[in-house]
């Protein structure tokens, strides 16, 4: 099984790219969202460390955002709990898709949390900064301060680009993206 890790800036279209490969995708953001909505154990753990911010189940993104913006150490506390669960879900995903030729890892902090393996193929998604900002501002939960905090968690984009085996220039058009993916898959397979 070939593992392909998707790297890039927040809002660069990593999920859009991942979903266009046509192979099983592990979407960490989606998994985190499910944890907040469905996992009472996670709720209890987070409420225990952040009782001032987390009040009721399911966990509301607004409460998480408030906790993160109120105190920078809160983000680290949340990440510690959530990433442990995400790693378990990733292992399950890989096991479930072991017969697949390729799996796509759409995990925002793939390198930062040392989730990638040496043999993983890394693809960097490069997008126009103006386009990224325009797309981020359209998100219903857009918060500039929160965005800055999350960016501080990340390794530099230059570093991620250097670590990558391939670069996809994302113009957010399916036709162009599919063509770039096809060219990469030809080289990989």
Q: Whose structure tokens read 């506390």?
A: 77
Q: Which two tokens stand for residue 56?
A: 């009721």
Give pLDDT tens digits for 99-135.
Answer: 999 999 999 888 888 888 889 999 999 998 888 888 8
Q: Which two tokens stand for residue 131?
A: 């386009």
d(CA 132, CA 84): 29
Q: Is the N-terminal amide bond of 157 cis, ω within 30° of 0?
A: no
Instruction: Please give the average per-residue pLDDT across 60-83, as a whole number.
Output: 90
Give pLDDT tens digits for 152-175.
Answer: 778 899 999 999 999 999 998 899
**Per-residue confidence (pLDDT) for residue 45, from 0 to 100:** 96
Q: Which two tokens stand for residue 87?
A: 């790693």
Counting every residue, how long is the chain? 189
Q: Tell which CATH classification among 3.90.1150.10, 3.40.50.300, 1.10.1660.10, 3.40.50.2000 matches the domain 1-24+101-189.
A: 3.40.50.300
Give pLDDT tens digits for 14-49.
Answer: 999 999 999 999 999 999 999 999 999 999 999 999
CB 104 within 8 A of CB 18: yes
The residue extents of the domains of the chain are: 1-24+101-189, 29-96
**Per-residue confidence (pLDDT) for residue 188, from 0 to 100:** 93
């Amino acid at each position: 099984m070939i593992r392909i890790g998707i790297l890039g800036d927040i809002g660069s279209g990593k999920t859009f790219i991942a979903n266009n490969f046509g192979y099983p995708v592990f979407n960490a953001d989606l998994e985190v969202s499910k944890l907040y909505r469905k996992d009472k154990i996670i709720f209890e753990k987070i409420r225990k460390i952040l009782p001032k911010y987390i009040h009721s189940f399911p966990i509301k993104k607004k409460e998480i955002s408030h906790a993160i913006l109120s105190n920078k150490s809160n983000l680290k506390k949340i990440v510690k709990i959530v990433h442990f669960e995400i790693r378990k879900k990733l292992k399950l995903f890989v096991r479930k898709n072991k017969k697949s030729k390729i799996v796509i890892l759409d995990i925002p902090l793939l390198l930062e949390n040392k989730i990638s393996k040496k043999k993983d193929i890394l693809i960097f998604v490069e997008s126009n900064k103006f386009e990224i900002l325009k797309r981020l501002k359209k998100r219903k939960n857009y918060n500039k301060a929160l965005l800055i905090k999350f960016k501080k968690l990340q390794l530099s984009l230059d570093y991620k680009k250097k670590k990558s085996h391939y670069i996809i220039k994302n113009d957010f058009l399916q036709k162009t993206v599919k063509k770039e993916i096809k060219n990469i898959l030809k080289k990989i397979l």
